[in-house]
Structure 1
Amino acid sequence: MDLNRLGKEIHYFRSLRGLSQQELARDICNQSEISRIESGKAFPTLQTLYFISLKLNVPITYLLHTSMNERVDYIEETMSLINELVLHKQYKEVYELTKAELKRTDELEGSYVHFLRWQHAVAAFEMNRMSIEECIGQIEAALQDQTARFLFTAQGLEEKMCNSLAILYAEKKHFSRSFYYYDRIISQETMSQSDPELLLKVFYNYGKALFEAGELEKAEKIINKGIRQSKKLGNMTFLGQLYYQRGCCKETREEPSASKDFFKAYAFMEETGKVVLQAIIYEEKEDYFMNETVRSLYPFPKK
């Protein structure tokens, strides 16, 4: 029985719900007992755990599973490895690893199996071993499995799978379905806490898809939300891309202020070390960067 893991999960969900230890303990137990449970020094009675699960809106079966499943470490390590491979676009390795893991589905729990099927489908598509329609079908089938729904939410998988679907549908120019999945992600109230970087990425991708669909006004509105959220969170990861996409919207409408957004995009690319994207912006929007006043303010490369 893993008391530390159970304690960490209770602490995570308590923080997610915005509760203090004292608020969680009210009408259940003493605050000191919650502290001992979260630090892994005590295991609650089933009655206490049941009332904790009710207040946190988490199935008691999930908390029991967390504390008793000896394979959790292995699963988390494997998921972490796959995510790292995806980050570096090593799709062949992802494909082979997920294929090997899926051969042992009888030994594995539901949400992990769906995670593997999702990543396997995306890797197969990226390697041209699966059509975009097949890839979409497999991810949507996983999302519709109600037995794994809570674990999807708890592990943040639902939003990530929806993001994959939104990107795939946009690639097929099925924009209404793409927008449906982007809206589904943004509607999650806890996204800014659970995975702020994914949320910012979604704002950028959503704005880009709206731009490609010709919905410039809505695109700019979504992008502005992304810019505000980036500043609120103090996260500059996608600010460069967001300003660039807003500049593209303004450029299409022939607004002079487009230049300011391209300059900001360039500067934030510099700040975040995205030199490849920085070079692409300069090459694509070179005319905007020829003004001598502007060149004196930003470290643009010399021709």
Structure 2
Amino acid sequence: MSEHIGSRIYELRSYYGIGQKELAEGICTQGNISHIEKGNQLPNSDILFQIAKKLGVGVQYFFEDYEAPRNNYIEDTCEMIRHYLHKHEYERAYSIINTELKNPLFRRADLKKFLLWQKSVCHFHLFSKEEAIDLLEVAIDIKIGHSRALSMLDIELFTSSAIMLTDLGQYKQATLKYNTAIKKFKKHPHSNYGNIKIPIRILYNSSINFYRDNDFINSYERANQGIKLCLENDSLYLLGELYYQAGISSFKTGGKDYLSLIESSLWLLKKKESSHVEYINEKYNYYKSLDPQVNSIEV
């Protein structure tokens, strides 16, 4: 126990660039800190409390491997990374990720897995796409809890890997990843509660993958599965995009419902002021011009 506590104090002190003398000030002697870090001395509760306070963690951090200290910092950092990725500011996100990978506060398996996942996304856009996929595989291999345990994070990693493979034109490999993600989600103990965005996102991107592989029947089927899931759960998440995907897939298969599907897409995307409205409206007018006999409502 003394070695464990000592090593965790050393890790945090080193990360923040605090010397032993500075940490000891007002608490104990520098020699005490040296002995504690080496595991030769077990600090009493008062000293440990003061060390924890100076290092910005709770006392439980030194005893519990799976406790997430400074949750606000961790949550804020993860949210900042997501924000920069959403804004396509990959350089800024990449810099933060590389810094936090050295931070002992992110030692927990799920946090390290998250950082490597986000790093692979940045790497995909900034450097080598193939290396990004390899990095994502490293993240996937990190086990959270029992080796048989399934996590939503794992499912999202499989989805990201599939999206990357689609971008590289490796459609068959991407399909395998999407199918794995769908199977894992169905097996997840919480698949019926919340997290509805995850399967919707899988179905939407899987539909795109099939479409690019010229498999328009499966593209249409996956898009319709996504639409059904949205409607059953009163979710608007990607619903407009799914209607559009179903519409263009229907057109390719000679279906009769493609105009009504794209109309639904336009209506929903206009409501949320999507940047894709102008493009989809042009596509709608093009499809409509191919069949002037179709009586359609104005959008």
Question: Does the alignment reach a TM-score above 0.5?
Answer: yes
SS in 1 for 2:236: coil
For the residues of structure 1 that align with 2:148 and 2:71, how far apart are their CA atoms? Answer: 13
State the 1:289 CA deviation.
5.0
Residue in structure 1 matching 2:171, options 153, 169, 175: 175
Q: Does 1:207 align with 2:203?
A: no
Q: Does 1:140 align with 2:141?
A: no
State the 1:107 CA deviation.
6.4
Judging by fraction of residues, say which structure has more helix: 1
Alignment of 1:158-169 (within 5 A): 158-169=154-165
For the residues of structure 1 that align with 2:225 and 2:91, how far apart are their CA atoms? Answer: 36
If you compute each CA radius of gyration, which structure gives the higher value, 1 or 2?
2
1:12 alignment partner in structure 2: none
Deviations for 1:166-199, whole angstroms, at most 9, x for unmatched residues? 1011112222221122122222133453421232
1:122 alignment partner in structure 2: 121
After the TM superposition, which segments of 4 or more aligned residues of structure 1 sit over 4 Å from their partners? 147-154, 289-293
For the residues of structure 1 that align with 2:149 and 2:99, how far apart are their CA atoms? Answer: 22
Aligned partner of 1:142: which letter? Answer: A
For the residues of structure 2 that align with 1:151 and 1:70, how far apart are their CA atoms? Answer: 26
State the 1:110 CA deviation.
2.3
For the residues of structure 1 that align with 2:106 and 2:207, how far apart are their CA atoms? Answer: 41
User: What is the RMSD computed on CA atoms of the aligned residues?
Assistant: 2.6
Deviations for 1:182-217, whole angstroms, at most 9, x for unmatched residues? 122222133453421232122111011111112222
Deviations for 1:125-169, whole angstroms, at most 9, x for unmatched residues? 212x2x111000011111112356779945x32122111101011
State the 1:65 CA deviation.
5.2
Aligned partner of 2:229: which letter? Answer: Q
What number of residue pairs does the alignment pair up? Answer: 229
Whether the aligned pair in 1 keeps the contact of 2:109 and 2:142 (CA below 8 Å) is: no
Unaligned runs of 5+ in 1: 1-63
State the 1:225 CA deviation.
0.9
Whether the aligned pair in 1 keeps the contact of 2:230 and 2:236 (CA below 8 Å) is: yes
2:284 alignment partner in structure 1: 285
Identical residues among aligned pairs (%): 19
Aligned partner of 1:126: which letter? Answer: H
State the 1:220 CA deviation.
1.7
Deviations for 1:19-62, whole angstroms, at most 9, x for unmatched residues? xxxxxxxxxxxxxxxxxxxxxxxxxxxxxxxxxxxxxxxxxxxx
CA spacing shift, 1:87–1:148, aligned 2, 3 Å: farther
For the residues of structure 2 that align with 1:152 and 1:272, how far apart are their CA atoms? Answer: 37
Q: Does 1:110 align with 2:109?
A: yes
Aligned partner of 1:176: which letter? Answer: K
